[in-house]
Each structure stands twice: as structure tokens, then as C-alpha cells.
Structure 1
């Protein structure tokens, strides 16, 4: 930004020098017909330098805006990756996707383009007025007196633009969220013959967003129009006073008795005085859009982010849990986690087993405490809620792994999936869209088979709850076998599975009873 400010100051200086050269060239040329070579050189050098510096300013600003926007997107990706899965899923998807396409750029324009225009609004008119005061301080005073009117205008219009920009962003967020939701539920909408009704709803959202956009642009154009009116009025007043002075019709102090080149210089500098104000007015809607984008991106930078970083618990020396407090379940005892083995979380319903499992898997965040896992590979999750890819069974099993067809066949056979009487077809057995043709037990067995095909840490939430005795025994054996080479953590009510565990943590009483105790 310092480099950008320096380039803008140099461009303003070059413009002023070019104006002096043009005035010194045109005045004598009109009065005597003589060409001033020095003035010509100064005019050419000043105009050329101003043009080159103008291009440099635009390139520098564009590069800075791209850098800021790119870093904001990177920060959003890191934030989403670090967020608990449930917190990330709670964000409105449509508004999130559209926002990450629009908001970083809008915020970058606020941080770079608008900030630079604001800085030059203070510097540019002062430099121009100082150059003009050398010729006529009265003319410079006329321009300075017009500035408060512009500032009052910016303040009045700014509130209107901010309000309309917030309405525009809210309308876009609702439109994007509704569109994403309707795309997800399109088969249901078509089956219920609701396409016309939903299309009308989307049309109304689109019209609201279009109206919000036009509202912002209308105020922005009005702002620029009023600014141009006052600028033209101030320049016209200068021109009238200077013309009356040269015609000898009025002797206004500071405007009478000037050489022609001095009057021309005043008229050349007057538009430059208002140029930075006009640029600021053009970018005023960028300020409103950037502030609205900052509000929309607030989830990336929570207010207590610094406090959280300052209070972040130290990394544990060994894998395990220390001083952990669970949402809705309270505190749990400290324990270490081995590098491999079957680790069981037991306790009555409501004791917090599933919550603790989700915290260990980083699906949810604890209220307090520290967790360290023994491996950093992506874990495998086993529960009745596991998504299953539509298509043949072999494809659903191999999803996310590099297992050979032989390994897929062995894993399916171990879990009784190739000879299931309720789901014939072996590895070619079909999985419907959304796995609607599968029972909860079949989903769990597919998840356990995928666990056997993937390396790394594994979590199981009541993996035997929906199974008959034969398939429950198969799942227990598969989990125990997998735990010989990795850590498998299960939350379970199954005493047989808990008995196989190498280690066990009993959460004991339900949260209310623990707190009472």
C-alpha cells in the first residue's frame, strides 16, 4: 500500500507539472504566437509521466486487490477445514458458495481501492490547491470552500448506500441458499409437481436481488451526478471571474490582472482538484459493498479468535485427552490413546459416548480441554448414518480407497455382504439413490467393510446396534482384526464388543447425575 500511495502522489505531481507546462505553452502561443520550447518539453514530460504512472497505479492496485482476495479465500479454506463438521454444515451452503466468489473481491476493493482513493482525497486537493495558490490564493480558496459541501454529501449518501448494499447482500444470500436447497430437493419437487411454484419463488428472490442492485447503483450514480454538478459549478464560477478580469469588466481580487497563462493554469488545475473527489465518489459504493462483505465473512474471523489463540491449550506430549468438557455432557476423565488397539467408550444412554466420539473425530468442538490423536491420516467413520454411493456394491465398497478387486471381494465376504439373502447380487447388488433400499444394518456392514480397505484411525458409533447376532459377531471380529494394526475407537452399549476392547473408558453416570455428584 505504501508503494501504491507513492505512485499516486507521483502521478498527481506529474499532472500538476504537465498542467503548468501546458499553461506556459498555450498562454504565450495565443498572445504572441511564440512557441516556448521549455514549456513544451515540460508539458510533454508531465503528461507522459502522468499517463505512465496512472497505468502503474492501476496495475499495482489490481495486483494488491488480487493478493488480498486470494489470501481471504485461503483463510476461508483454512477456517472451514478447522471448523467442526457440524458447525461447517450449519453454514448456508448457497450463500457460502456465492459469498466466497464475491465477498473476497469486494472486501479487497474496500481494503485497497477505496483506501487509496480515501488517502488521495486528502492529499490530491491539498497539492492542487497549493499549486494554484502560487498563482491566486483566492482561486484556491474558492475550491477549498466547495469541499465541505462534497463531504456533507458523502456522509448523507453513504448511509443510504450502506443500507441498500446490506439489503442487496441479504437478498443474494437468500437467493443462493434457496437455489442450492431446491437443486438438492429437485427430484422431490418434480415428483410433487411443484416445479412451477418453486420457479415462481426463485423469480421473486431474483427480482428482490435485482431491485437491491439497482438501488445501490441508483444512489451511486446520483452521488456522482451531484458531485459533477458542484464541480462544474465551481469551475464555471472561476471561469466567469477570470473572464471578467481579462475583459476588464470586473476587478475581483485574485482574478484580475493575471497573465493569460496563469488563468489557463487555474482552469487546468480546477478539474484536477475535483478528480480525486470524483474517484472517491465512484468507489463509494465499493465501501458499502466491502463493509457488507466484511459482515458476511465474519464467520471466518470470530470476535474471540485472538482470545482463543491466546488461551489455546498446549499440545499434549502423548496422544490422549486432558481436561475435556463436552457440550451437553460435561467433563470426562483424562485418558491416553494408544497407537493401535480396540478402544471402547461405554456408559449409559446420555452419558456422552457419541458426543465424545465426535469430539475425538473433530466432528464437534469441545467446550474446553485438549485432544491429541495418535495419527494424522484421514479417519474412517462407521455408523448407521454413513452415506453409501449409488451403483453396484463393489463401487460403494471401493469408494475412497485404492483397494484391489480381490481385497474388495474379501472385505465384502467377511461382513456377509456377498451372500446376504435379503440383498442378492453379490458385488453387483444395486445400491439405490440415497441408499434407500438398504437397512441400517447393511449400511453399517458396508461402512465396516470400507474400514478394512482403508488405512488409518477409525471411529465407530454403536457399530453393532442394528445387527442380528450373526452379523454383529462378524462386525466385532472385523473391528478387532482391524485394531491389530491401528487404533479403532468405538462408542458402544454392546458388552461383547466392550469385552474385546484392549482399553475401555466408562463415562459412568449421565451428565445431570455427574453434575449432581
Structure 2
């Protein structure tokens, strides 16, 4: 036998995903032993069929009990049951071993990866890579591989046993095989595409869920929970639809195979019946002993059993191949040999594309200072603010905020204010002293607001229903002064009278001396105080309308 050249083997390895190569290497020895056990079980099943056919034939024709056949049937039954249990146990253990090896490789890769490269990995790929993909790949290299081998050998052994009795019956079984192979080929592309779409949907769902959990406080502060819940529902529905699509094709595949198997067995039964009744002289089916006809009928379902088992696991092939492609990041060496894609070397943004607003010119962000996002209505100012606050994901590009990763503060007209007193509302989420709270309230004119008497003891009703939008903003800005993290302010002076707008501008400028404050604004006076501006252009639809 000619062995493939090293060059040919290396060429195939180059085309094979590294994750798949690792999984097959781990499974190789155990899979060979598993295949040996499956062959023994197949032989035991064939022996049991022969013994049962002889036992039933003798019982029907002579009324006597064939002790040898009965003993052989019992022995083969016990051997088949024991081998089946051992095969299932070994298969499960081998799949677990492969999955653990893949998880260990992923963890080692993450530990050795540069921090920025690890942070740049899609969270969905990492989550699915450590949870779902190793198991899917293990099923491909163990369960599916074993079923594929038995599909090649099992029907041959069964057809050989049938041929001992009637080569014509064996030929009839073999003629049904091409139909199944053709159907496998037709279904293969469809189920592969659906499995790839399913894995992509899972990655997007995992990424979005991880991001939303991480930024949940900001989402709640920005009243974005209903919107984000709806987005997650859409992602979940897309994943559910993908899963049902894969299962629908798998069930269709199994149903078609069962139809052709039942049809072939029915034809054999009809031919054998006509031969025994003397109604037709069909070569290979007439003049057979009863036990021989019974043996053919017992072995015919066993001939199709490996095809049915392979059909049940056919979707595992598509899912495993998609998982191998999705695990490419574990074995990729590109992060060590090229600049990290999607990582911004300095604080700022590169290549951002905003939902509904389009691309944004690259910009840098200072450690501290006031940054104004300006532009006409609909240009994407609020969207950019939500993206930088990690409330919403960009369509493309990457960004990085400067400084330590401290909790951010969100300021807008609908900032949530807890019920209680004004002092408690300002100090919410901080450890500020009463003196600091009083100073912050005074700088925003809250402690002596004629429309909100009571000073720091002024009541805040549930849902802050007794506060106007402008009062909400001033409370949020006062709270901002007591927090050290980055501040995101969406139109903080939009609904304020000139005196209170001036107070807010002054407070933001004061806060920007020690932290980064990013404001989306139409206020020229506020923009004039900014240390840096990010100007957004109108969207394409607005430019066309103009």
C-alpha cells in the first residue's frame, strides 16, 4: 500500500483548522479502541441474528427447540449488551477528554496572550469557545467519526452475512446505498450553512449579553433597559431560529433514510414471501429454507442501522466544523506577529462606525478635561456618547477610555433619582461627607431653589415625579462632582434657564480639572469651554435631504 508523502500530509494539515487537528490527535488512540469494540458488537449482533433465525426456523418447522441456537442467541445478546454499555461509556469519556484538552489549550492561550490582544478578543468567541465549542468539536472527532467508520464497515459485514444465504438479497441491499450517499451530499451543504449561522448567532448573543451585564449600571442610569432587553430578545430569537433550522434538516435527513430503509426491507419481505408461497420464481429468493429467509429479514434492518446512526450525528459534523473555525483564535499566532487589530494605542477611537449615524473621524481623548461632541441634530452625538459609555456597541471600530477603570456617571434629562431627600439623591452611590454634599448642592443652586423649598431636606417623591427635567440634570451634575470616574453628559444645559445653565457649565468645567467629562451639546457657550471638540457631520440621508 502506498503511503501519502510527507508533503501531501502537511498540505492537508495546513488546510485543517488547528483546533480540529488537536482534537483528532487527542482522540486518535481512544478512537481506534472504540472502533474495535464497535466491530465486536457488530459481530455479536450478526451471531445473534443467525442464532435467532435458526431457533425460530426450527421451532416453526419441527416444533422442536434448538438448544445450541438458544445458547448462542443468549450469549450474543449478553455480549452485545455489555459491549454496547462499554462503547457508550468509553465514547463519553473520550469526548470529555477531548473537550478538556481544548479548554486547557484555550486557557493556556489566554494566559500567554498579551493583555491588549486578550481584551480585543470578541467576548462572545471567548465565552462560546470555553463553553460550547469544545463539546461540539469533541462530538465531531469521537461520536461522528466512530459513526462514519461504522457506516463504511457495518453494512459490508452485514451484506457479507446475507450473501452467504443469498447474494441476490445482498445485492438488493447494496443497491439502496447510493441513494443514501447522494442524499447525504445534498443535505451536507445546507446543514453546514445553517450550523455556521447558528454558531455566529451564539457568538453575537454571548458578546451582547456579556457587554450588557458589564454595563448594566450605566444602562439603568440611562433608562436603556427596555431597549437593551429588546435587542437581547432579537439575538436570542435568531439563535433559536438557527438551532431549529439545523434540527429541521437533521430530522428531514433521518426521515428520508428511514423511508428508503423501510422500502428496501418491504421489497425483500415481498420477494421472500412470494418465493415461499411458490407464486414467483425470483432468483435468490425462491427455494430458501425458512431460517434463511428469517435471517435476511433480521439482518436487513442491521444493514441500514449505521446509516441511521450517522444521520442522527450528521448535524454534529456541521456543528463541529463550525466550532473548529470559531476556535481559530486559540491557535492563531497573528497577535504575536502583527499589531493588534481593533486596539487603540492611545486613549480615543479609531474607525468607529455608529448605528444609524455612520462613520466618525478618529479622535484622541485626554486623561482629564472637557470634551464637547457637537454637530447638527441627528448627527449621532447621543449615540457616540452611549458607545463611549459602553451602553451601545458600534458597528465597527474600537475605542479606549483613559485613566483607571472607575464607575462612570451618566447625566441626562431622564437621569434616575431615588426617592428620599435632596441630600440622599445627590449622595446616591458615593461616600461623600455631608459637607461635600452641601457644597455640591450650593454650586448648582439646589440648596436655595425657590421652586424646590426645603434645602437639602427637600423631599424627592418616588420616580422623582415632583422634579422637572432641569432639576434632574442639576442633581445629576451635583452627584457627578462627588464621583471620580469619567462623566458622560447628554445635553446637560438643554432645558435650563440662563442662570442655571451657567451654573452647570461652571460645574462641568470644574469637574473636568480632575477627570474626563464628555458632553454632547448644542450649547455654544458650553462648547466654547471645552478643551477639545469632536465635530460630527450630518448623516448621509440628512445631507441628501438638504
Structure 1 length normalisation: TM-score?
Answer: 0.61
Match runs of 1:345-364 below 5 Å: none
Q: Cα deviations across residues 67-120 of structure 1 (Å, max 9, x unaligned)?
A: 000000000000111111111111121342133111000000001110000000
1:266 counterpart = 2:312: no
SS of the residue corresponding to residue 105 of structure 1 reads helix
Q: Separation in 2 of the partners of 1:434 and 1:274? A: 72
Partner of 1:92: 122
Q: Choose the corresponding residue for 2:308, options 270, 275, 278.
A: 278
CA distance in 1, matches of 2:480, 2:38: 58
Q: Does 2:171 match 1:153?
A: no
Q: Distance in 2 between matches of 1:66 and 1:279?
A: 21
CA contact (8 A) 2:103 2:134 kept: yes
Unaligned runs of 5+ in 2: 1-30, 342-400, 409-435, 437-478, 487-512, 515-546
Match of 2:403 among 369, 379, 385: 385
Post-superposition offset of 1:384: 7.4
Contact kept? 1:17, 1:42, Cα under 8 Å: yes
Q: Does the alignment pair 1:106 with 2:168? A: no
Shift of 1:177: 0.9
SS in 1 for 2:132: helix
Q: 2:160 aligns with which of 105, 125, 130?
A: 130
Over 3 Å counting, the alpha-carbon distance change for 1:27 and 1:434 in structure 2 is: farther
- C-alpha offsets along residues 152-180 of structure 1, whole Å, 9 cap, x if unaligned? 01111111110000111111111111111
Q: Judging changes above 3 Å, is the alpha-carbon distance between structure 1 residues 245 and 327 closer, same or farther for their aligned structure 2 residues?
A: closer
Deviations 1:27-70 (A, max 9, x none): 01011101000000111111111111111111111110000000
Question: Contact 1:70 / 1:104 at 8 angstroms: preserved in 2?
Answer: yes
Rate the CA distance shift 1:187–1:267 in 2: closer, same or farther, 3 A. same
**Alpha-carbon distance in 2 for matches of 1:112, 1:191:** 49
Instruction: Determine if contact 2:51/2:72 at 8 Å carries over to the other structure.
Output: yes
Matched, 1:437 2:483: yes
Residue 184 of structure 1 and its aligned partner are, at CA, apart by 1.6
Structure 2 match to 1:46:
76
- Partner Cα distance (2:326, 2:340) in 1: 27
State how 1:211-230 maps to structure 2 within 5 Å. Answer: 211-230=241-260
Secondary structure of the 1:134 match is helix
Q: Which residue in 1 is equivalent to 2:42?
A: 12
CA distance in 2, matches of 1:202, 1:134: 61
Match of 1:61 in 2: 91
Aligned counterparts of 1:57 and 1:41: Cα–Cα separation in 2: 24
Deviations 1:122-150 (A, max 9, x none): 00000000011000000000011100100
What are structure 1's unaligned runs of at least 5 residues?
313-324, 329-382, 391-421, 423-432, 441-465, 468-517
The match for 1:142 is 172
Which portions of structure 1, spanning 4 or more consecutive aligned residues, are displaced by more than 2 angstroms? Answer: 302-305, 325-328, 383-390, 433-440
- Cross-structure match for 1:22: 52
Aligned-pair CA distance for 1:283: 0.2
TM-score in terms of structure 2 length: 0.57
Change in 2 beyond 3 A, CA 1:436/1:158: farther
* Residue 188 (structure 1) aligned to one of 200, 207, 218: 218
Identify which of 230, 247, 254 aligns with 2:277.
Answer: 247
* Aligned mates of 1:155, 1:41 — CA distance in 2: 43
Question: Cα gap change, 1:269/1:198 in structure 2, threshold over 3 Å: closer, same or farther?
Answer: same
Q: Given that residues 389 and 434 in structure 1 are in contact (C-alpha distance below 8 angstroms), is that contact kept between their aligned partners in structure 2?
A: no
CA contact (8 A) 1:79 1:300 kept: yes
Give the aligned CA root-mean-square deviation in angstroms: 2.8
Structure 1 pair 227/436, CA: closer, same or farther in 2 (3 Å)? farther
Change (3 A) 1:384 1:197: closer
1:163/1:34 CA distance change after superposition, 3 Å: same
Aligned to 1:378: none
2:62 equivalent to 1:32? yes
